[in-house]
């Protein structure tokens, strides 16, 4: 679980970096998308790196989801009679929403893939084979931005707990200091990733990128 | 006449026979039986050779035969868990019982202060002999020297064993074990794990026990209460236990039975013992023929948190170490008792221990400190809330210590205890002086055992606080843990084999008349309690019995008081059997029913304690008879008349208890009257 | 030793208690409501229940079954879910919780630990033998009586000894399980793993200990830890979350060693 989670985090950091190329303009962004596919040629075939990433991500997703499902089932069986009153003392909103938040992310990713990768849906009816254009067109629509922002909130929450949790699971938090560092890292990663991704749709919406 | 020594007391028989020299307060309450002797200790050898000789002479059991021999151990405190684990390791088939939901919860877990051992790591002059000497003297020359010497001898092995098990004793910066001085002795021989030594030692023993469970040699029966011993042909062959969850009455048969069921301080209702501590296991054995020795020897601890109201269910001990820096006082003027202590000026305070005992001051032994507090309160100078019209508490003041050492130093030394005090009383001891009052803490009395720890019922062994063995009339701080583990790890496993060497014993069937009778007995008692359908709760009887015991058989005992107590107990007991109200059923978890059985046995024990106290017209250790004191009010021992163990035989339902005296003779130590002035 | 009741009456609180009543393991239970007057702030929580039980007994109603023994916060026998908090609102055990933490007119809901690995036996009493079985699976150092070397033959650095002690204070009460949204006993196991793992004596069995104890943990039906942290907040002995990190670390090492 921790390993797959960290893979996700790594992917998101790269992905975010790529997205931010939007600010460098149309060509730089498309160049990047292209570069992703030609990277390593001729050792790798066209799209090779991308496929390596994809396979890794899919494997991680399978591992991640299956362990999430198993943990959920075990937790359900571990307490079949619920408390009439139960207070939360130490848990955070993010730690309590891992399961629903994860599910929401899952649904989002499917939609996102249809949107940008598999389907290449351009809701404005514009060009679909120009990634830059696709992005700019999509985020010109307020409701599209809203969907993405909602997803990013989910990402932020999931990573806020997920990052700390992964470090704890890996046994890297053996002292109170290490523990607070890991919690801080959770916050930083969550804000960085959610915030970094949010820049693109917001900038498009407010016309900073056109 | 007080300074009688060994030569003098060697002549006891003569005295006992001549009524002129013998005050027989308990006449009419008991009958005198044959004298008793401990035949197992090789007392003719030099003291340091006795244990090794006995160990050598105790017969061995072939490892292959051990699998055929079964042992029941009742109790999983230090004494029981250590014994069960060790016997399991040796290869016997062991069954271990406790009334809690896990062996780890036995009352040993509550011990705070530490455990003594003659390691002499501090090079401060400690030795086996000094620990022996201190313990015999501390017990006011009412313990057996052979037993005490053995205890001191094996004490060092205990520390080795516990360290190897992972008990996290306190250590110095160099990584070596730390020691402190405890309970007024002059050497530092007490090993400790902060204020939770008992917990750490017990968890060590518990883990050793669970390891044997995993190895298949020990089976644990938790939430099982032993309610009867099975005696077949004069030998202990098993127990009847009630499964406290299903209510099932179970028969467990074995070749030998070990009782490690702890102390009976709860006869006083309020004590520092756990709620479930009881005498039932020991008392049932007593009724089947095991003698009860010195039941009146009770240790009262001076630094407990006072009673706050009628709801009180138990008392909490605070470590004695508080007396190292706190000063004890009461107002000189009764009119000041209700005042805020901070408003009472220095000259209106009576630091009575410092006044009466200038050389020991606040560090006088437990019994002296306890009695002194009682006198102040009886005199109307107690402090704290009025309970039944009397304020029972004295101040333990840290104001000076805080001034002298600074608040931080006091906090680092006593922080935990201060927090505990604040939590229980709602008062801040850094600001307001603490209030303390004595409370029943430990019983030195218990089932009589010989050097092999075998009771007067062959095949019934008794270890730990449940036996009377090693502490005489008073126990030194940090010695109960030592005794429990000594018995369980290092003594019993050796002595029990001598008995088991006669085995395997003839198997007995569950329909043997003795078994059936024991079962019936248990069943009848339960049925009785459930069908009385009276009006009063078990707890209310227990509380009343406790009041009687505390009042008349507590810190100070007198002839008239004890006689009155016996009458009161008898009347209350009658009423209990006719008027108790126990709801619920026998075949379910029924906590009132559990308590009813325990309280019923406390009645009988309480009466015997009073008779024993009545008989012992001397003051020794924890037993203080008002009639036997010096002009200054100090305890006065009578070695000429009472240098014996009083072992009581059950005299039957309507009969009188039978007193058997075991003379105490000392060859390695000279008897002295103690003085703390 | 009964208190002058006038003093108590002055400060007596009225409480509404909602208590889980369940006749035995196989029956179903539900919350019952009781009124209790004249509760002194100096009472412990369990003494308050004692008073309720006296009243119930007098009325001929079955008293409420709850566990306790030492009543001084060390045996780990007591443990109730009080208004949704394990051991109630203070960082201490149920027996050391005092009524001054509540106010007149409060409604207090009292439930047993809820964990399928700790089945309810009656009312508020649960069966925690699963913890014993976890210890059996490896929570010890294998040393037979009498085979121990001289205690000073092994030095233990003070830091290690102190840390071992800090986590060895676990009383096995089960509050961590009760509070954990996943019903996990990771804090309990982590405390034992850390205690023994800090000491030189505990090294030989370190790998097998963590693997076996976790295996038993899962077999008992406790949930998996997702690092939520409710356990440490409920723990009366303030066992820190570090121990779960240590548990994971030891597990990782054991796996690297091929266990
Ligand atoms: C608050 C406190 C602090 C103390 N501090 C110290 C200290 O610092 N140093 C020191 O040396 N001593 C101390 N003592 C004394 C010491 O703790 C005890 O004397 C000692 O632990 C007794 O151990 P034990 O094994 O004999 O009995 P216990 O630990 O009391 O165990 C009794 C066992 O018997 C079982 N049992 C009892 N009756 C039955 C029954 N009928 N059926 C089935 N099982 C039964 C119980 O379940 C339990 O497992 C302290 C005592 C108290 C109360
Ligand atoms: C189907 C979708 C998902 C579900 C159901 C899901 C669910 C969960 C659950 C239940 C946990 C366990 C909580 C924990 O261990 O602390 C978890 C952890 C984690 N998740 Fe997800 N998640 C999903 C997708 C994602 C995605 C897309 C990411 C990356 C953005 C991610 C990153 C993480 C991380 C880093 C952890 C911490 C791993 C650990 O604790 O060891 N998850 N997830
Ligand atoms: C504003 C935010 C986002 C933007 C603008 C964005 C944009 C894109 C674009 C343009 C692609 C297609 C890249 C290509 O095929 O060349 C893509 C692919 C992808 N995105 Fe995003 N994305 C965003 C947020 C996210 C988030 C939050 C996640 C995960 C939780 C995510 C997961 C993915 C995945 C898994 C792919 C597929 C990669 C592949 O082709 O293998 N994206 N994204
Ligand atoms: S870790 Fe804390 S909460 Fe859990 S059993 Fe131990 S003491 Fe209780
Ligand atoms: S609350 Fe539960 S999820 Fe883990 S950190 Fe504690 S065991
Ligand atoms: S009763 Fe022992 S910890 Fe509460």
- Return d(Cα A70, Cα A63) in angstroms, integer: 10
pLDDT-above-90 percentage for chain C: 95
Residue B124 has pLDDT above 70, yes or no: yes
User: Which residues pair with residue B253 across a beta bridge?
Assistant: B238
Q: What pLDDT score does B673 carry?
A: 76
Between residues B264 and A135, which one has the greater pLDDT? B264
Q: What pLDDT score does B324 carry?
A: 86
Residue of C83, C241, C252 with shortest CB distance to A179: C241
Q: What pLDDT score does B366 carry?
A: 83
Distance from CA of B253 to the nearest CA of C (A): 24
Between residues B675 and C67, which one has the greater pLDDT? C67
Q: In what order do the strands lie in the sheet with B218-221?
A: B218-221, B93-97, B70-74, B256-259, B460-462
Q: What is the pLDDT of residues C176-198, one digit of tens each?
A: 999 999 999 999 999 999 999 99
Residues A75 and C228 sit within 8 Å (Cβ to Cβ): no
Q: What pLDDT score does B14 carry?
A: 37
Q: Per CB distance under 8 Å, which residues of A are interface residues toward C?
A: 70-71, 74-75, 77-91, 95-96, 98, 161, 164-165, 168-176, 178-179
In this prediction, residue A124 has a pLDDT band, given cuts at 50, 70 and 90, of confident
Residue of A64, A69, A76, A113 with the most ligand 2 atoms within 8 Å of its CB, for mutation: A64
Token pair 């989910």 is at which residue? A154
Residue C155 has pLDDT above 90, yes or no: yes
In this prediction, residue B677 has a pLDDT band, given cuts at 50, 70 and 90, of low
User: Which residues pair with residue B220 across a beta bridge?
Assistant: B96
Token pair 């239970």 is at which residue? C29
Residue B18 has pLDDT above 80, yes or no: no
Q: What is the pLDDT of residues A17-56, one digit of tens each?
A: 988 988 888 888 888 888 888 877 777 788 788 889 999 9
| Ranges of H-type helices in chain A | 2-20, 26-38, 48-78, 93-96, 98-116, 131-138, 142-169, 176-205
Residue B320 has pLDDT above 90, yes or no: no
Closest CA to B331 of B318, B347, B353: B347
Q: Kindly state the average pLDDT of the residues C102-130.
A: 97
Query: Within an 8 Å CB–CB cutoff, is residue C216 touching chain B?
Result: no
Taking CA atoms only, the protein residue closest to ligand 3 atom 39 is A54
DSSP H/E element including B568? helix B559-579
What is the value of pTM for the model shown? 0.94
Residue of B101, B200, B310 with shortest CB distance to C67: B101
Distance from CA of A182 to the nearest CA of C (A): 11
Residue A122 has pLDDT above 80, yes or no: yes
In this prediction, residue B388 has a pLDDT band, given cuts at 50, 70 and 90, of confident
- Domains of chain C are 3-122 (3.10.20.30), 128-141+156-256 (1.10.1060.10)
Query: Which ligand is closest to the CA of A131, given by its number?
Result: 3
Q: Kindly state the average pLDDT of the residues B547-572.
A: 97
Domain B513-663 sits in CATH 1.20.58.100: yes
Q: Does the distance separating the beta carbons of B314 and C92 come in below 8 Å?
A: no
* All structural domains of chain B with their residue ranges: 47-299+442-500, 301-440, 513-663
Q: What pLDDT score does C134 carry?
A: 98
List CB contacts (< 8 A) between C149 and chain B.
160, 164
* ipTM, 2 dp: 0.94
Distance from CA of B643 to the nearest CA of C (A): 35
Q: What pLDDT score does A157 carry?
A: 96
Whether B47-299+442-500 shares its CATH topology with B301-440 is answered no
User: Which residues pair with residue B437 across a beta bridge?
Assistant: B304
Taking CA atoms only, the protein residue closest to ligand 4 atom 4 is C176
Q: What pLDDT score does C201 carry?
A: 96
Q: Per CB distance under 8 Å, which residues of C are interface residues toward A?
A: 18, 20, 31, 81, 83-85, 109, 111, 114-117, 179, 181-184, 218, 221-224, 226-230, 232-234, 240-242, 244-252
Residue A107 has pLDDT above 60, yes or no: yes
Q: Which residue of B has its CA nearest to C173?
A: B105
List the single best residue of A84, A165, A175, A182 to mutate versus C (max C Cβ within 10 A). Answer: A84
Q: What is the pLDDT of residues A61-104, one digit of tens each?
A: 999 999 999 999 999 999 999 999 999 999 999 999 999 999 99
Q: What pLDDT score does B676 carry?
A: 65
Q: Does the distance separating the beta carbons of C155 and B211 come in below 8 Å?
A: no
Q: Does the distance separating the beta carbons of B110 and C72 come in below 8 Å?
A: yes
DSSP H/E element including B549? helix B538-552
The mean predicted confidence, pLDDT, of chain B is 93
Q: Which residue of A has its CA nearest to C186?
A: A169
Q: What pLDDT score does B2 carry?
A: 37
Q: What is the pLDDT of residues B159-199, one digit of tens each?
A: 999 999 999 999 999 999 999 888 778 899 999 998 899 99
* All structural domains of chain A with their residue ranges: 2-205
Q: What pLDDT score does B3 carry?
A: 38
CA-to-CA separations, B3 to A183, B6, B615, B629, in angstroms, rounded: 72, 10, 21, 14
Q: What is the pLDDT of residues A136-155, one digit of tens each?
A: 888 988 999 999 999 999 99
Between residues B675 and B307, which one has the greater pLDDT? B307
Pairing of strands B224-232, B235-243: antiparallel
Query: Within an 8 Å CB–CB cutoff, is residue C146 touching chain B?
Result: yes
Q: What pLDDT score does B22 carry?
A: 60
Q: What pLDDT score does B595 carry?
A: 98
| C186 CA: nearest ligand 5 atom | 7
The CATH number for B47-299+442-500, chosen from 3.30.360.10, 3.50.50.60, 3.40.50.300, 1.10.150.120, is: 3.50.50.60
- Chains with 3+ CB–CB pairs under 8 A to B are C
Q: What pLDDT score does B251 carry?
A: 98
A42 preceded by a cis bond (ω within 30 of 0): yes
Q: State which of A28-32, B283-287, B477-481 shows the largest mean pLDDT.
A: B283-287
Residue A119 has pLDDT above 90, yes or no: no
Residue B5 has pLDDT above 70, yes or no: no
Q: What pLDDT score does A36 carry?
A: 81
In this prediction, residue B414 has a pLDDT band, given cuts at 50, 70 and 90, of confident
Domain B301-440 sits in CATH at 3.90.700.10
Q: Kindly state the average pLDDT of the residues B309-318.
A: 90
Residue C8 has pLDDT above 60, yes or no: no
Catalytic amino acids of B? 366
Q: What pLDDT score does A35 carry?
A: 85
Q: What pLDDT score does A1 carry?
A: 84
Q: Kindly state the average pLDDT of the residues C43-59.
A: 97
Residues B135 and B471 sit within 8 Å (Cβ to Cβ): yes
Q: Which residues line ligand 3 at a C-beta cut-off of 6 Å? A: A 15, 19, 33, 36, 50, 53-54, 57, 105, 109, 112-113, 116-117, 131, 135, 148, 151, 155, 197, 200-201
> B21-35, B63-77, B476-490, B652-666: which range is least confident on average?
B21-35
Q: What pLDDT score does B4 carry?
A: 36
> A193-197, C5-9, C223-227: which range is least confident on average?
C5-9
Q: What is the pLDDT of residues B79-89, one digit of tens each?
A: 999 999 999 99
Give the per-residue SS3 of C107-142.
EEEEECCCCCCCCEEECCEECCHHHHHHHHCCCCCC
Residue of C143, C145, C155 with shortest CB distance to B176: C155
Q: Does the distance separating the beta carbons of B173 and C158 come in below 8 Å?
A: yes
Q: Kindly state the average pLDDT of the residues B243-269.
A: 98
Q: What pLDDT score does B178 carry?
A: 94
Q: Number of residue pairs across A and C with CB atoms under 8 Å?
A: 116
Residues A155 and A105 sit within 8 Å (Cβ to Cβ): yes
Residue of C63, C65, C100 with shortest CB distance to B426: C100
Closest CA to B417 of B341, B351, B482, B324: B324
């Amino acid at each position: 679980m921790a390993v797959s989670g960290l893979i996700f985090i790594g992917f998101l950091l790269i992905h975010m970096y790529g997205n931010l190329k939007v600010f460098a303009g149309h060509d730089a962004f498309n160049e990047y998308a292209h570069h992703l596919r030609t990277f390593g040629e001729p050792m790798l075939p066209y799209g090779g790196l991308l496929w390596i990433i994809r396979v890794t991500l899919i494997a991680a997703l399978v591992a991640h989801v299956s362990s999430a499902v198993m943990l959920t089932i075990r937790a359900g069986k571990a307490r079949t009679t619920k408390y009439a009153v139960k207070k939360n003392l130490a848990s955070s909103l993010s730690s309590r929403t891992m399961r629903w938040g994860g599910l929401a992310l899952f649904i989002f990713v499917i939609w996102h893939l249809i949107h940008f990768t598999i389907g290449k849906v351009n809701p404005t009816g514009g060009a679909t084979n120009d990634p830059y254009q696709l992005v700019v067109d999509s985020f010109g629509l307020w409701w599209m931005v809203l969907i993405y922002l909602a997803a990013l909130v989910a990402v932020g929450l999931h990573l806020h707990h997920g990052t700390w949790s992964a470090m704890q699971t890996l046994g890297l938090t053996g002292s109170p200091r290490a523990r607070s560092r890991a919690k801080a890292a959770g916050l930083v990663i969550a804000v960085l990733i959610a915030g970094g991704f949010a820049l693109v749709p917001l900038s498009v919406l407010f016309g900073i990128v056109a | 006449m007080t300074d009688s020594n060994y030569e003098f007391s060697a002549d006891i028989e003569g005295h006992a026979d001549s009524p002129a020299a013998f005050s027989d307060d308990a006449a009419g309450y008991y009958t005198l039986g044959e004298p008793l002797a401990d035949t197992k200790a090789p007392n003719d050898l030099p003291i340091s050779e006795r244990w090794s000789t006995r160990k050598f002479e105790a017969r061995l059991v072939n490892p292959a035969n051990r699998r055929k021999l079964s042992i029941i151990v009742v109790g999983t405190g230090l004494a029981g868990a250590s014994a069960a684990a060790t016997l399991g390791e040796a290869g016997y088939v062991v069954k271990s019982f406790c009334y809690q939901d896990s062996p780890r919860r036995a009352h040993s877990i509550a011990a705070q202060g530490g455990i003594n051992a003659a390691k002499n790591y501090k090079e401060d002059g400690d030795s086996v002999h000094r620990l022996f000497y201190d313990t015999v003297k501390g017990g006011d020359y009412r313990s057996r020297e052979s037993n005490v010497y053995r205890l001191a001898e094996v004490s060092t092995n205990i520390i080795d064993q516990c360290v190897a098990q992972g008990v996290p004793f306190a250590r110095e910066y160099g990584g070596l074990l730390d020691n402190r001085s405890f309970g007024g002795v002059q050497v530092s021989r007490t090993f400790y794990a902060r204020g939770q030594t008992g917990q750490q030692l017990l968890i060590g023993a518990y883990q050793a026990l669970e390891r044997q469970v995993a190895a298949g040699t020990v089976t644990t029966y938790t939430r099982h209460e032993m309610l009867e011993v099975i005696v077949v042909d004069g030998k202990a062959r098993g127990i009847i236990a009630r499964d406290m969850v299903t209510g099932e009455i179970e028969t467990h048969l074995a070749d030998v039975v070990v009782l490690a069921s702890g102390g009976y301080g709860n006869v006083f209702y309020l004590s520092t013992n756990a709620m479930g501590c009881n005498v039932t296991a020991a008392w049932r054995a007593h009724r089947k023929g095991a003698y009860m020795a010195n039941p009146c020897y009770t240790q009262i601890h001076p630094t407990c948190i006072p009673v706050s109201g009628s709801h009180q269910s138990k008392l909490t001990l605070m470590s004695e170490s508080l007396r190292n820096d706190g000063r004890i006082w009461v107002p000189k003027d009764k009119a000041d008792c209700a005042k805020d202590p901070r408003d009472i000026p220095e000259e209106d305070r009576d630091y009575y221990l410092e006044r009466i005992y200038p050389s020991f001051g606040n560090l006088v032994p437990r019994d002296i400190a306890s009695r002194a507090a009682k006198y102040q309160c009886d005199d109307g100078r107690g402090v704290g809330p009025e309970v039944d019209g009397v304020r029972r508490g004295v101040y333990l003041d840290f104001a000076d210590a805080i001034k002298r050492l600074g608040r931080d130093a006091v906090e680092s030394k006593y922080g935990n205890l201060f927090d505990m005090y604040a939590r229980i009383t709602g008062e801040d001891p850094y600001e307001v002086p603490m209030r303390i009052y004595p409370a029943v803490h430990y019983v030195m009395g218990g089932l009589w055992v010989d050097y092999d720890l075998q009771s007067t019922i062959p095949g019934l062994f008794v270890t730990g606080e449940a036996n009377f063995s090693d502490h005489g009339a008073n126990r030194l701080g940090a010695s109960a843990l030592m005794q429990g583990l000594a018995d369980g790890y290092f003594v019993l496993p050796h002595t029990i084999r001598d008995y088991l060497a006669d085995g395997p014993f003839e198997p007995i069937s569950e329909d043997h008349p003795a078994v059936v009778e024991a079962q019936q007995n248990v069943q009848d008692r339960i049925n009785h309690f459930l069908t009385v359908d009276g009006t009063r709760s078990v707890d209310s009887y227990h509380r009343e019995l406790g009041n009687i015991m505390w009042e008349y058989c507590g810190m100070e005992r007198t002839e008239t008081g004890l006689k009155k107590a016996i009458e009161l107990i008898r009347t209350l007991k009658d009423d209990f059997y006719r008027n108790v109200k126990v709801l619920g059923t026998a075949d379910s978890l029924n906590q009132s029913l559990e308590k009813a059985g325990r309280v019923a046995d406390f009645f009988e024990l309480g009466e015997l304690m009073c008779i024993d106290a009545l008989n012992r017209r001397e003051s020794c250790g924890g037993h203080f008879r008002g009639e036997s004191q010096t002009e200054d009010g100090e305890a006065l021992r009578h070695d000429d008349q009472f240098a014996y163990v009083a072992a009581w035989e059950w005299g039957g339902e309507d009969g009188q208890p039978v007193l058997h005296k075991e003379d105490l003779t000392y060859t390695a130590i000279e008897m002295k009257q103690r003085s703390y002035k | 030793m009964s208190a002058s009741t006038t003093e108590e009456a002055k400060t007596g609180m009225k409480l509404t208690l909602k208590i889980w009543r369940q006749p035995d393991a196989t029956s179903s239970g539900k919350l019952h409501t009781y009124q209790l007057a004249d509760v002194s702030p100096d009472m412990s929580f369990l003494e308050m229940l004692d008073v309720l039980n006296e009243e119930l007994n007098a009325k001929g109603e079955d008293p409420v079954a709850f566990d306790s023994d030492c009543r001084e916060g060390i045996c780990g026998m007591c443990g109730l879910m009080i208004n949704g908090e394990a051991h109630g609102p203070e960082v201490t055990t149920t027996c050391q919780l005092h009524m001054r933490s509540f106010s007149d007119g409060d409604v207090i809901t009292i439930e047993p630990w809820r964990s399928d690995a700790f089945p309810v036996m009656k009312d508020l009493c649960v069966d925690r033998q699963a913890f014993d079985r976890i210890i059996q699976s490896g929570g010890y150092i294998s040393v037979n009586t009498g085979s121990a070397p001289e205690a000073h033959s092994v030095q233990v650095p003070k830091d290690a000894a102190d840390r071992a002690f800090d986590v060895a204070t676990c009383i096995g009460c089960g509050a961590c399980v009760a509070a954990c949204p996943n019903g996990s006993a990771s804090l309990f196991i982590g405390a034992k793993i850390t205690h023994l793992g800090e000491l030189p004596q505990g090294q030989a069995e370190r790998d097998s200990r963590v693997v076996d104890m976790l295996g038993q943990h899962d077999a008992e039906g406790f949930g998996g830890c997702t690092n939520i942290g409710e356990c440490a907040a409920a723990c009366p002995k303030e066992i820190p979350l570090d121990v779960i990190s240590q548990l994971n670390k030891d597990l990782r090492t054991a796996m690297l060693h091929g266990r």
